[in-house]
Amino acid sequence: MLIVMETSAPKKAIDNVCKLIEEMGLSAHPMPGAQRTAIGVTGNKSQIDSDRIMTQAGVREIIHVTKPYKLVSREFYPEPSVIEVGDVKIGGPEFIIMGGPCAVENREQTLIIAEAVSKAGAKVLRGGAYKPRTSPYSFQGLKEDGLKILAEARDKFGLKIVTEAIDTETIDLVSDYADIVQIGARNMQNYSLLKKAGRQKKAVLLKRGFAATVEELLMAAEYIMAEGNSKVILCERGVRTFADHTRNTLDLSAVPFVKRTSHLPIIVDPSHGTGRKEKVIPLSRAAIAVGADGLIIEVHHDPANALSDGPQSISPEMFEQLVHEMSTLAGVLGRTCG
Amino acid sequence: MLIVMETSAPKKAIDNVCKLIEEMGLSAHPMPGAQRTAIGVTGNKSQIDSDRIMTQAGVREIIHVTKPYKLVSREFYPEPSVIEVGDVKIGGPEFIIMGGPCAVENREQTLIIAEAVSKAGAKVLRGGAYKPRTSPYSFQGLKEDGLKILAEARDKFGLKIVTEAIDTETIDLVSDYADIVQIGARNMQNYSLLKKAGRQKKAVLLKRGFAATVEELLMAAEYIMAEGNSKVILCERGVRTFADHTRNTLDLSAVPFVKRTSHLPIIVDPSHGTGRKEKVIPLSRAAIAVGADGLIIEVHHDPANALSDGPQSISPEMFEQLVHEMSTLAGVLGRTCG
Amino acid sequence: MLIVMETSAPKKAIDNVCKLIEEMGLSAHPMPGAQRTAIGVTGNKSQIDSDRIMTQAGVREIIHVTKPYKLVSREFYPEPSVIEVGDVKIGGPEFIIMGGPCAVENREQTLIIAEAVSKAGAKVLRGGAYKPRTSPYSFQGLKEDGLKILAEARDKFGLKIVTEAIDTETIDLVSDYADIVQIGARNMQNYSLLKKAGRQKKAVLLKRGFAATVEELLMAAEYIMAEGNSKVILCERGVRTFADHTRNTLDLSAVPFVKRTSHLPIIVDPSHGTGRKEKVIPLSRAAIAVGADGLIIEVHHDPANALSDGPQSISPEMFEQLVHEMSTLAGVLGRTCG
Amino acid sequence: MLIVMETSAPKKAIDNVCKLIEEMGLSAHPMPGAQRTAIGVTGNKSQIDSDRIMTQAGVREIIHVTKPYKLVSREFYPEPSVIEVGDVKIGGPEFIIMGGPCAVENREQTLIIAEAVSKAGAKVLRGGAYKPRTSPYSFQGLKEDGLKILAEARDKFGLKIVTEAIDTETIDLVSDYADIVQIGARNMQNYSLLKKAGRQKKAVLLKRGFAATVEELLMAAEYIMAEGNSKVILCERGVRTFADHTRNTLDLSAVPFVKRTSHLPIIVDPSHGTGRKEKVIPLSRAAIAVGADGLIIEVHHDPANALSDGPQSISPEMFEQLVHEMSTLAGVLGRTCG
């Protein structure tokens, strides 16, 4: 940590800060400069709570050097984690594609789509039984009935299932049915939910919040890991910016940043990341090329009648085309797919 | 609603869309233009789920005219709502100041600060017993013990108390103690929590999310009102932007927008909105001047030892100064304060 | 400056960095920590060009302590600058209101509006003779004819005039007519234009770019001052964010930040800052309350027929009301107005 | 265009708006709805200047259907434009890589790098002779001497050269030497410069501004084309957001949006788009995969001593690796490269 003093800070203020640092069990290294003094701090094993220092007289700014995350950090686990969900391995050489409807609407719809994505080469079926919707008057999901339909689809087509948990009251039920429990973007900093996700045994797919930095995404994963569950898969799904040609701005640079900073796998959601079906395939190609470990894609056989997110859902035919393109690209990128 | 067709859309595609609209019980008004056809839609009482139309062949864009919120809308209740919390009235001529520590740290700290804010003229004591923190290793609050301390301070100094509920499991307990239940920025779209907030009886202070549009803030309030609780107070607390001279960018234009669009009161949080104590008073002046109904301010008698948010907490002396300035400004703005 | 090394950086890499720093005529202070080494650098008089260090083996991050601006800095000139434009003083106790049409459309329109704003109490007439427009097919201004009309209005009503210079070819002509030369948001980093603005003698009104940090605004002012012109007035006019209820997000916290960091005056443009006439007065109140030195406001007597920016222009009657409110607020804020 | 009236708008207000529209030579189609009336407008050949209508009594909102750009639009020219720069064709099946130093620093440096990029397979040499820098105290480029060095490198290695023009005074000189004249992000809305770029004969590389929407980028290209120069190459180089793990947020979804909306080619700049050399290759892979027509890359043989942008410059060895990877990917994407 580095403490930057005001240019006007008197020697006494500098001494006081140094004294406080020593009291905290750390070492202070004052560096008098031409304009001002900076004080280096060493001896800390984790990030120091700097608020106390910030409020001292004469302190202008605090600069953290040590990052606040531990368990998610590549400095902690130097090798990439491979998350095993049965025989599906996420974070290894295989590029994993998850596909399915935005929402489980009924048994027939889900089984049709599950069969299609399975045949096309998806390993995981996505589908929401609990749906967080901006409006209280929109369809909110089939709840446990939806989970049962997903479980049936899993058994029938040999897929794993990923589905969202939206609150602490229902996450245990979701966990009973799911292979991977999804935490959505709106809940990325719902810490009670993260803690419960960390106390159940299934893998967790954690989506980046609309306005979350990548560091905050990693800290949210740290909440899950700190409770004992290390099977966390991160997901870039676009952030909010002024740009209005897409629903969100997909931040693909998050992928190489996460790969360098953390050992956790990261996948990309180009359906929410763009909000328009005609951009799903181009951005999927970009995602595998930038180094992501997989995709999660909204697919609907009859988007005109989908109960949610029709405009960003691709057809089973486009999904087949997508898997085909991923497979070709995987071949020249040193990975496998499909 | 307006449906914009592709320039290349054939007559058949236009006819199909019109037919679908009629099937939905609405009226279609095709308007052939020089370049393309647009189709006006009338007859809807609430916002139409446009996803189904968006996926029809030849449709380029859908434009909504009817807004999705109802109960929060000023078109619904034309007069401003005044939220009564005992004898404290929020949204009326009086400008209400809430002050207190970020977190309830212990009995002594809370009582010292409560006494100071009460003497200075605050009507409501703020203080977190449950703290959502970015890091799992940071102080997470005193929980029910904190609520008890707040209740003691209320009784002792005749203040109302506002404190945050962070999950569905503890909101009922928080509601038992609090006069106003706060829903924080990170939980603005935690719909399970919003619904429970709508089913308890206390007033709710709903903070705008980091990256939420004002419309989304109103939709979150709609969730609470749809469950039967109409005592909702909105709060602007800054949004996330590229600007780095403050912790968040306080968006004061949200205040006149909310005032025009909704009947609900709105207050401002310049402590989180700027993140630096020296900006709290200037932005508080701006908040009352722009038309806000009150403020919520972090105050600490010993910020150097605060367990959270020390750098943005002002001293009791600064708080007294702040109330004094608000009172003077209220006088020329046709309001009362303090 | 602080250099943060990689955790894996060997001693040799640290030594090499220290050697390079000494070669640059500076002093290196290595601080070995539990996880990594940081190297403090002292002895610099201005910001060091850190790119060269950043590329050394083992360097993870560079943190600047010294700010890159000098002439604009309050550390350089501790007292607030008062910019004198004839008998109008910007940055002193008087709150200065500038008003007028977006564009000079014709002689009659400009004289009507000039008379109205003058009578209401404005000291400076705004009006564009050269208009930067998003579309090449929009009205681009009357050019020198417009400048002549402004000059006539100045003489007739005793106002100063502020008008925009959009390129290096015409700035000298603009400077001949204007009392204050405006550099617009789109040109805030047009350095050739800034340099020429620094070489002419009139005061400069420098608007913040759509996506400029406040530091970059100060650096743009540094360009002007470095050429010898110290009469720079800054202007906050809103930045671009995801928020869609206003045209831009007016960042009023920029005002106290500039006041603390720089000696230059800063005014606010709530017309562009919000884009809607009904928000101009509320945000003007907020601007004076937060500590701005003045306002620049778009006024039109017949907005329905304005050639540009009609929706954000207020009527002469609203402008009169605005000046009246500013004058009342100035009274309790220790300033004068009108 | 669609005009949305206030719910409270009386019949007279609606009639007035319709009358105005008819006066403008257009047709009005009032559509009375349950809550409010909307008025469709047809008959326009280009985007209507809606400000005049917006200011009518009772008008709440104006919604544009017709887009403001023409010449850049794919509706205007349905086939993709291929920009020919000698024998280099941008926008065709070949993926074009431009590489070189951020700034031309001296003859030796430029020739070393030019030779390296040429050998690796680049077709175009980049290098700035005029440098727009945030600080007036930073290196501003070698100016005409720099252009001469670039010309020598072109002759020696058979490369085309792309170099930036920063003002109207020097663009003709730059145009004399360059094969492609670059307009930088800071000047994307410097309309005087765009017009002059449209009046010279060389191809123009137009970079997206830090906070420009893709529509504004297309409108800036419209300025150039409206002056008669149709050889415009667009460039995505990242936008400004709250995300802080990269210097800018590279918005790759702009590529398929431009491809659908415009006939102009678009390339990607991952050096400025990320600001860190270790992210250049991953994002380059993403750029070719998403459908871009080429790349522009900063290369330096001795980044530790580069006068600008060292941290984002890759070495000649990394550049060779990059061209190799692009070539492999081009093979499976139906393109050629190198």
Return the exposure string of A250-271: e unless at least 16 CB atoms fall within 10 Å of the residue's CB, then b.
bbbbbbbbbbebbbbbbbbbbb
- Residue range D9-14: average pLDDT? 87
**Is B74 part of a structural domain of the chain?**
no
**Is B69 part of a structural domain of the chain?**
no
- Residue range C300-325: average pLDDT? 86
**Is C76 part of a structural domain of the chain?**
no
For chain D, the average pLDDT equals: 91
A121 contacts A97 by C-beta, under 8 angstroms: yes
> Can you name the residues that pair with A26 across neighbouring β-strands?
none
Is D331 a residue whose pLDDT tops 80? yes
Give pLDDT tens digits for B52-82.
787 788 888 777 766 777 899 987 788 999 9
Is B268 a residue whose pLDDT tops 70? yes
- Residue range B244-256: average pLDDT? 94
Is D326 a residue whose pLDDT tops 80? yes
- Which parts of A158-213 fold into alpha helices (H)? 171-177, 191-199
**Is D55 part of a structural domain of the chain?**
yes
Strand residues in chain B grouped as ranges (E): 2-5, 27-32, 37-42, 59-63, 83-85, 88-90, 94-100, 124-126, 160-164, 180-183, 203-207, 232-236, 266-268, 294-298, 336-337
Give which of C74, C290, C293, C332 to mutate to test B binding, by max B Cβ within 10 Å: C290
* Nearest alpha carbon to residue A106 among A137, A168, A152, A67: A152
pLDDT band at D206 (very low <50, low <70, confident <90, very high): very high
Asked if A250 lies within 8 A of D245 by C-beta distance, the reply is no
Give pLDDT tens digits for A36-69.
787 878 776 666 667 778 778 888 877 776 677 7
Give pLDDT tens digits for D90-127.
999 999 999 999 999 999 999 999 999 999 999 999 99
Is residue D169 domain-shared with residue D281, that is, in the same domain? yes
pLDDT at D37: 81
Give pLDDT tens digits for C209-266.
999 999 999 999 999 999 999 999 999 999 999 998 998 999 999 999 999 999 999 9
Is residue C11 domain-shared with residue C99, that is, in the same domain? no
| Closest CB from B68, B168, B309 relative to A51 | B309
Number of domains in chain C: 2
Give pLDDT tens digits for C117-168.
999 999 999 999 999 988 888 888 999 999 999 999 999 999 999 999 999 9
Is residue D256 domain-shared with residue D211, that is, in the same domain? yes
Is residue B45 domain-shared with residue B108, that is, in the same domain? no
| Closest CB from D7, D29, D65 relative to B29 | D29
Task: Give D243→chain C minimum CA distance, Å.
Answer: 13
* Nearest alpha carbon to residue B304 among A55, A4, A62, A20: A55
Q: For residue A249, what is the nearest residue in chain C, using CA coordinates?
A: C242
Is residue C186 domain-shared with residue C257, that is, in the same domain? yes
Is residue B194 domain-shared with residue B314, that is, in the same domain? yes
Task: Give A155→chain B minimum CA distance, Å.
Answer: 30
| Closest CB from C211, C243, C257 relative to B251 | C243
Q: For residue B2, what is the nearest residue in chain D, using CA coordinates?
A: D2
Is residue A166 domain-shared with residue A282, that is, in the same domain? yes
**Is B75 part of a structural domain of the chain?**
no
Residues of A in Cβ contact (< 8 Å) with D282: 253, 255-256, 289-291
The Cα B81–Cα B232 span in angstroms is 9
Tell me the range of A50-54, A249-253, B271-275 where mean pLDDT is highest: A249-253
**Is A136 part of a structural domain of the chain?**
yes
For chain C, the average pLDDT equals: 91
Is residue A23 domain-shared with residue A116, that is, in the same domain? no
Residues of C in Cβ contact (< 8 Å) with D47: 135
Is residue B280 domain-shared with residue B145, that is, in the same domain? yes
CATH number of the CATH domain containing A192 = 3.20.20.70
D127 contacts D157 by C-beta, under 8 angstroms: no
- Which parts of chain D fold into alpha helices (H)? 11-23, 51-54, 107-120, 144-157, 171-177, 191-199, 214-226, 254-261, 270-274, 280-290, 316-332
Is residue B192 domain-shared with residue B55, that is, in the same domain? no
The Cα D237–Cα D54 span in angstroms is 35
CATH number of the CATH domain containing B8 = 3.30.70.1140
The Cα D222–Cα D195 span in angstroms is 10
- Residue range D40-55: average pLDDT? 72
pLDDT at C138: 82
- Residue range B239-246: average pLDDT? 92
**Is C70 part of a structural domain of the chain?**
no
Residues of A in Cβ contact (< 8 Å) with C63: 2, 63, 65
pLDDT band at A8 (very low <50, low <70, confident <90, very high): confident
* Nearest alpha carbon to residue D300 among D101, D110, D157: D101
| DSSP 8-state secondary structure symbol assigned to residue D249 | B
- Model pTM? 0.88
Task: Give B39→chain D minimum CA distance, Å.
Answer: 9
The Cα D205–Cα D219 span in angstroms is 14
Give pLDDT tens digits for C31-84.
776 667 878 787 766 666 677 787 788 888 777 766 777 899 987 788 999 999
pLDDT at D45: 63
Asked if B283 lies within 8 A of C254 by C-beta distance, the reply is no
Is residue B44 domain-shared with residue B107, that is, in the same domain? no
Local structure of B223: helix, strand or coil: helix
Give pLDDT tens digits for D146-156.
999 999 999 99
| Closest CB from B33, B42, B75 relative to D7 | B75
Is residue D173 domain-shared with residue D209, that is, in the same domain? yes
Q: Quick one: tokens of D313?
A: 């410059």
Q: For residue B302, what is the nearest residue in chain A, using CA coordinates?
A: A55
Higher model confidence: residue B15 or residue C255? C255
pLDDT band at B24 (very low <50, low <70, confident <90, very high): confident
Task: Give C57→chain D minimum CA distance, Å.
Answer: 9
Q: For residue D270, what are the domain limits?
A: 83-337
Is D177 a residue whose pLDDT tops 70? yes
**Is B78 part of a structural domain of the chain?**
no
Higher model confidence: residue D316 or residue D69? D316
pLDDT at B9: 84
Give which of B244, B252, B266, B284 to mutate to test C binding, by max C Cβ within 10 Å: B252
Local structure of D51: helix, strand or coil: helix
